Structure 1
């Protein structure tokens, strides 16, 4: 740190700008592939209906977060255009091209990504109701003020990234301590690898590790999320304390965060949550001798301070002041008895509260969707639909999808936890009965190869990972037992099956 300029954080800026842009690219690709069948004009929860509802009265309109579709009529074609523009702009920022110009150019690029993706999230309803959506939005907003390659990154913006990472990690740690007893008696991770929303290829191996290892996992998690975050701020002491020690402490704290998040990447599929946390952790790693300051003149002209133009310093200082004002609710929430998890306190989703898995489910209940072409459902042979990410086929090893987000599969996990079935699941079953091609593309396997079934039903099963002996004997990854029929047999209104 050197006053207004974070001269040792050029490497951090490069990782932040390119990493956040890469995550925006993934987010726009995810929306391009999934938004229309889920939320498009003929989707499960059509966004035009939400927009019409919001436009019906000023009070309702105020409940809707900012979106370009308030002023530009929504259509699936416009959604595709927005996604492709987001993909193209993200790719240029990943390549570092706007960063070669004045700082206002990458600022405009990231603000356009922020506004464009917020326009999607604001009308995404349940399918976009995840904490990592607001995390990506906030990270994109802050990335807009990191500047360009010909000047050092602003100190205040680097510190704001530390504050974001602190809220993300410490908030998650406090949610767990205040949450289920399993986090306090160290048993949480004896269940979590098996019951998490979307297991990964190594989740079963992690689950089968000894109980003592899982207890150490929980202790390590508490240390990484409740103790380490305070050390993320140590590099700022470099303004007053000479020597490498403050920067080294911050780098070690970042390394611990990166290590714990990498373990989560290897053992699960949490969209871009863990990847974003890893990228943000690099904000605390200073590497001297890299960047524009290495070749900077000995003294600045009058319109420059610490190698940065005065107007740019004024803008970044204004952003910092804005964050001081906006951060009070999030700071208070961290120490509140009834802590909110993944909450936004303003319409622009800045200075949010974060947290995840305050409680851990003890058993895995899966909703399996089945259909048949037989006329009599009572004597029918039923066939299962296969999903891309969630468990189904007992012999199939879970795949790695993160940082890509399979939104339908994630919401299927929430169904047994009490999500209202009529909200989106009943329309989903109706689309299967219609053999809607866009909906079927969201699935891994359609047992009818595009033909319409006569009947559909939803059945609940309890799933658990196979033991090593069960795997050796039958080659299975999962073992399941049937519970009950949740919905059905059902067919479309007006049809006799």
Structure 2
């Protein structure tokens, strides 16, 4: 069937597949390096405890059958190896059926990780990576030209990512409609980047232009993805420019980069398409059946888009095959940060020697300039931003963090930039305080060298210690 393939998109497919493989690699690497303190056997939210209370059908994962830290680590490092092989082009060296199975492996591996990740993995980019990764299974390799229906489904994902984000803004915070949200967003976003301070200090009229351009990108351009070329390419190219602007202005894990590789699959990139034989019948049948299933599953996400009660970043099936997306329906006007401190003093008085723990990505010491981490995802740092918004986001994991800091837990300390206590001398008490943070002015930056100015607001957690010499429970004083 000649209509089944689109040879002109072979370069877009190639770039998309290599880019997606790199993003898989980043995701598995983050899981392998961070899991012990987050979801390990002795982590803040242990996987074994989770799988005892959640049925397999609700969160399919291999870890329902077996879990150990060693097995989980091997699972993640296997994902790294397969992703690296795909990034290097291994799928082009095997038969078509082999390439499909090869692309199925990282999707299945990461699905098992996400479905037991709990609040650490409750982000839209996890579902986006899985949805896009599942589509990659059916894109084929050099033996066939890219299938039209799969390319269409990739545009449908890109449409929902952008259009969903645009609608949630228009239905949410009034500052989006007034074009004033970026007066605050660069300062209050979850994890600022090295250029965020400069973005914040752009003139306010420019911020209004930024918001207007964002509305155009998210509410108008997505519709043009389904128009003939070169209009679709132009729309996708503008989306890529917008996403690169977001990459420069903050740290949003691999959300922006996944959107970019999706947009690249829409464009007609230069290059002569190689001669390929007709697609095998079995391949056409498999692709069409999978596409029909995904279209059927699209009903609820599509209904969500037009609903007045639109939700964002929601999966409607446990396999994360078709999801709904969106971000920043509301924007904070002030930035608060939870600062965690410890003391070795016998009595935790206010005038005790309190030493501050430094996180890798979230603001702490006002003189420490933000760094670029994305597409790598610092999960603990992101959750600390939510906790500063409301103590309700702390759940049980924050007390687990405190306990592990009191024990100088090695895996937990690896998630931090620096611990103020020697490895053999943990603190006696931990406390947390809430601070109001704002960017310094140009004058303050020149005079102090600090990019942040902070003022104390209130206590967040009173001085807390372990009940026993080797306990795992903490008590407050």
Q: Give your verdict on TM over 0.5.
A: yes
Question: Between Structure 1 and Structure 2, how many residues are aligned?
Answer: 468
Distance 1:382 1:147 in 2: 58
Q: Which residue number corresponds to residue 459 of structure 1?
A: 433
Q: Which residue number corresponds to residue 239 of structure 1?
A: none
| 1:2, distance to aligned residue in structure 2 (A) | 5.7
Contact residue 240 and residue 260 of structure 2 kept, 8 A: yes
Q: Which residue number corresponds to residue 359 of structure 2?
A: 387
Cα pair distance change 1:2/1:357, threshold 3 Å? farther
Q: Which residue number corresponds to residue 160 of structure 1?
A: 153
Aligned pairs for 1:39-188 (under 5 A) are 39-54=39-54, 60-62=55-57, 64-71=58-65, 73-188=66-181
Q: Which residue number corresponds to residue 204 of structure 1?
A: 197
Cα pair distance change 1:287/1:435, threshold 3 Å? closer
Distance 1:216 1:402 in 2: 25
Q: Which residue number corresponds to residue 341 of structure 2?
A: 370
**Structure 1 gaps, min length 5:** 55-59, 235-245, 301-306
Q: Which residue number corresponds to residue 422 of structure 2?
A: 449
Q: Which residue number corresponds to residue 28 of structure 1?
A: 28
Q: Which residue number corresponds to residue 428 of structure 1?
A: 401
Do structure 1's residue 486 and structure 2's residue 457 form an aligned pair?
no
Contact residue 8 and residue 288 of structure 1 kept, 8 A: no
| 1:61, distance to aligned residue in structure 2 (A) | 4.6
Distance 2:445 2:381 in 1: 25
Aligned pairs for 1:328-343 (under 5 A) are 328-343=299-314
Tell me which of 221, 231, 234 is aligned to 1:228. 221
Q: CA RMSD in A?
A: 1.5
| 1:290, distance to aligned residue in structure 2 (A) | 2.8
Distance 2:189 2:49 in 1: 32
| 1:3, distance to aligned residue in structure 2 (A) | 1.3
Find the residue that maps to 1:233 and give its secondary structure: coil
Contact residue 5 and residue 155 of structure 1 kept, 8 A: yes
Do structure 1's residue 271 and structure 2's residue 253 form an aligned pair?
yes
Aligned pairs for 1:312-327 (under 5 A) are 312-327=283-298
Find the residue that maps to 1:488 and give its secondary structure: strand
| 1:288, distance to aligned residue in structure 2 (A) | 6.4
Distance 1:168 1:49 in 2: 33
| 1:289, distance to aligned residue in structure 2 (A) | 5.3
Find the residue that maps to 2:422 and give its secondary structure: coil
| 1:494, distance to aligned residue in structure 2 (A) | 3.2
| 1:142, distance to aligned residue in structure 2 (A) | 0.2
Report Cα offsets for 1:293-348 as digits up to 9, x if no partner.
xx35xxx7xxxxxx211111111111111111110111111110100101111121
Query: Runs (4+) of structure 1 moved beyond 4 Å?
Result: none
Q: Which residue number corresponds to residue 252 of structure 1?
A: 234
Q: Which residue number corresponds to residue 265 of structure 2?
A: 283
Q: Which residue number corresponds to residue 373 of structure 2?
A: 401
Contact residue 344 and residue 429 of structure 2 kept, 8 A: yes
Find the residue that maps to 1:86 and give its secondary structure: helix
| 1:101, distance to aligned residue in structure 2 (A) | 2.2
Contact residue 386 and residue 393 of structure 2 kept, 8 A: no
Q: Which residue number corresponds to residue 191 of structure 1?
A: 184
Contact residue 371 and residue 455 of structure 1 kept, 8 A: yes
Find the residue that maps to 2:461 and give its secondary structure: strand
| 1:349, distance to aligned residue in structure 2 (A) | 0.8
Distance 1:173 1:489 in 2: 43
Contact residue 170 and residue 226 of structure 1 kept, 8 A: yes
Report Cα offsets for 1:146-180 as digits up to 9, x if no partner.
10112211111111100010011000000100011
Report Cα offsets for 1:214-272 as digits up to 9, x if no partner.
100100000000000011111xxxxxxxxxxx221111001110000000000100000
Contact residue 181 and residue 211 of structure 2 kept, 8 A: yes
Do structure 1's residue 359 and structure 2's residue 330 form an aligned pair?
yes
Find the residue that maps to 1:483 and give its secondary structure: strand
| 1:187, distance to aligned residue in structure 2 (A) | 0.7
Do structure 1's residue 473 and structure 2's residue 447 form an aligned pair?
yes
Distance 2:111 2:269 in 1: 33
Tell me which of 314, 331, 347 is aligned to 2:318. 347
Q: Which residue number corresponds to residue 238 of structure 1?
A: none
TM-score under structure 1 length normalisation: 0.92
Contact residue 149 and residue 291 of structure 1 kept, 8 A: no
Contact residue 193 and residue 199 of structure 1 kept, 8 A: yes
Find the residue that maps to 1:3 and give its secondary structure: helix
| 1:99, distance to aligned residue in structure 2 (A) | 2.1
**Structure 2 gaps, min length 5:** 470-474
